[in-house]
């Protein structure tokens, strides 16, 4: 499904070069639920951004759903994000001036679906996250947990192959976080691959596989001995 080999990512500012990822290799199979952990600044977001085609990598190979993405045009990358990927952000990233219906509609419009198709998908996605009744509400009228559920609906509506979630519960209290986690587990159960960054060991433990990133390099912890028993400090 997703395969990275010896990826590098260097950020250059006029003062310093930061090697956010070094010789980074990972392979994710279809249907996996991968939890990514690691200390702050270790390169988790960088990994997610490259995986999600939001940023380009500096060297190495990256195959997404069988397509080598290095050197693809911005247009093609946009189309792949739109069709194959779904995003869930820590800050929800809903558009405040659009109601829930129109927020979920955003990626569908770029896909070029007709009005009827979009409506069906929006209604189904909102139903999946239990917010159908709120379709005409605006984001500001919802709690954080509800907003994140709308963001999930927005990601789901396009029926992505992979769902990328960067600290989706980072702004939520534990009850809300668990509710969001349950939805994600449901989605994964129906076959969608999920990669999720989290600081919460309890949530990470519920994933099928745990990946730990330190200093831009992967330590793969296979699901069997998942958990925090090795005593890796979870920095917040």
Partner 1 sequence: MEIRPILATILRNPVGLILIGLQVALTLAIVVNALYIITTRLDNMRASAGIDEDNLLTISSTAFSGDESDTLANTRQDLDYLRGLPGVVDAMAVNTLPMAQSGWSTEIEASEDPDSHAVPTAIYFADHSLVNSLGLELIAGRPFREAEIKPYTMDQTLKPDVSIISAALALALFPDIDNPAQALGRHSWNGDENDRFATEIVGIVDGIKAPWKGFSVDIFNNVVFVPFIPLYGKTGSYAVRAEPGQLDRLLGSLQQELTELNPQRVVRDPRTFSEFRERFFRGDKSMAVMLSVVVGLLLLVNVLGIVGLVSFWVTQRTKQIGTRRALGATRGNILQYFLVENALISSAGVLLGAVLAMALNNWLASEFQVQRLPWHYLAGGSLALLLTGLAATCVPALRAAAIPPAIATRSV
Ligand X SMILES: Nc1ncnc2c1ncn2[C@@H]1O[C@H](COP(=O)(O)OP(=O)(O)O)[C@@H](O)[C@H]1O
Note the residues at the interface with ligand X (CB under 6 A).
11, 13, 18, 20, 38, 40-46
Rank residues 45 and 148 by Cβ distance to ligand X and give the closer one.
45
Cβ closest to partner 1, residue 81 vs residue 149 = 81
Name residues whose C-beta falls within 8 Å of residue 3's C-beta, 6 or more positions apart in sequence.
Answer: 26, 27, 28, 61, 62, 63
What is the contact surface with Mg ion in residues (CB under 5 A)?
45
In the complex with ligand X, the residue whose CB is nearer, 15 or 140, is 15
**Residue with the two structure tokens 């925090």:** 228
The CA R_g of the chain, rounded to the nearest whole Å, is 18
Beta strands in the chain (DSSP E): 2-12, 17-28, 33-37, 59-64, 67-68, 85-88, 162-166, 193-197, 209-214, 217-221
Please give the distance of CA 154 from its chain centroid, rounded to a whole number. 12
CB 58 to partner 1: min, Å: 14
Asked if residue 83 binds partner 1 (CB under 8 A), the reply is: yes
- By the rule CB under 8 A, 87 interacts with partner 1: yes
Smaller CB separation from partner 1, 49 or 221: 49
- Shortest CA distance to 211 belongs to which of 24, 18, 7? 24
Q: Which stretch binds partner 1 (CB under 8 A): 25-33, 34-42, 59-67, 80-88?
A: 80-88
| CB of 60 or CB of 160, closer to partner 1 | 160
Minimum gap (Å) between residue 24 Cβ and Mg ion: 15
Shortest distance (Å) from residue 43 CB to Mg ion? 9
Residues that bind partner 1 (rule: CB under 8 A) add up to a total of: 34
From the list 115, 79, 113, 100, the residue with the least C-alpha distance to 152 is 100
Phi-psi region of 3 (alpha: psi -120 to 50; beta: other; left: phi over 0): beta
- Stretches 28-36, 43-51, 200-208, 213-221: which one binds partner 1 (CB under 8 A)? 43-51
User: ∠ at Cα 228 (169, 1), nearest 5°?
Assistant: 65
Query: Which residue ranges make up the site for partner 1 (CB under 8 A)?
Result: 45, 48-49, 52-55, 74-75, 78-79, 81-83, 87, 89-91, 93, 95-99, 102, 105-107, 109-111, 154, 158, 166
């Amino acid at each position: 499904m997703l395969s990275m080999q010896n990826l590098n990512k260097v950020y250059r500012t006029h003062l310093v070069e930061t090697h956010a990822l070094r010789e980074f290799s990972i392979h994710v199979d279809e249907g996996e639920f991968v939890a990514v952990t690691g200390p702050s600044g270790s390169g988790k977001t960088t990994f997610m951004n490259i995986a999600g085609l939001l940023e380009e990598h500096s060297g190495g190979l990256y195959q997404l759903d069988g397509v080598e993405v290095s050197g693809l045009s911005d247009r093609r990358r946009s189309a792949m994000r739109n069709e194959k990927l779904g995003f869930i952000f820590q800050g929800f990233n809903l558009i405040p001036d659009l109601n829930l219906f129109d927020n979920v509609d955003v990626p569908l419009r770029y896909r070029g679906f007709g009005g009827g198709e979009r409506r069906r998908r929006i209604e189904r996605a909102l139903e999946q996250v239990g917010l159908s009744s709120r379709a005409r509400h605006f984001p500001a009228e919802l709690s954080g947990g509800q907003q994140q559920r709308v963001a999930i609906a927005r990601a789901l509506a396009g029926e992505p192959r992979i769902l990328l979630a960067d600290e989706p519960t980072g702004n939520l209290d534990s009850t809300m976080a668990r509710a969001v986690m349950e939805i994600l587990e449901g989605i994964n159960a129906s076959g969608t691959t999920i990669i999720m960054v989290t600081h919460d060991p309890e949530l990470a433990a519920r994933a099928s596989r745990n990946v730990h990133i330190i200093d831009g390099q992967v330590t793969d912890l296979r699901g069997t001995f998942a958990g925090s028993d090795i005593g890796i400090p979870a920095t917040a």
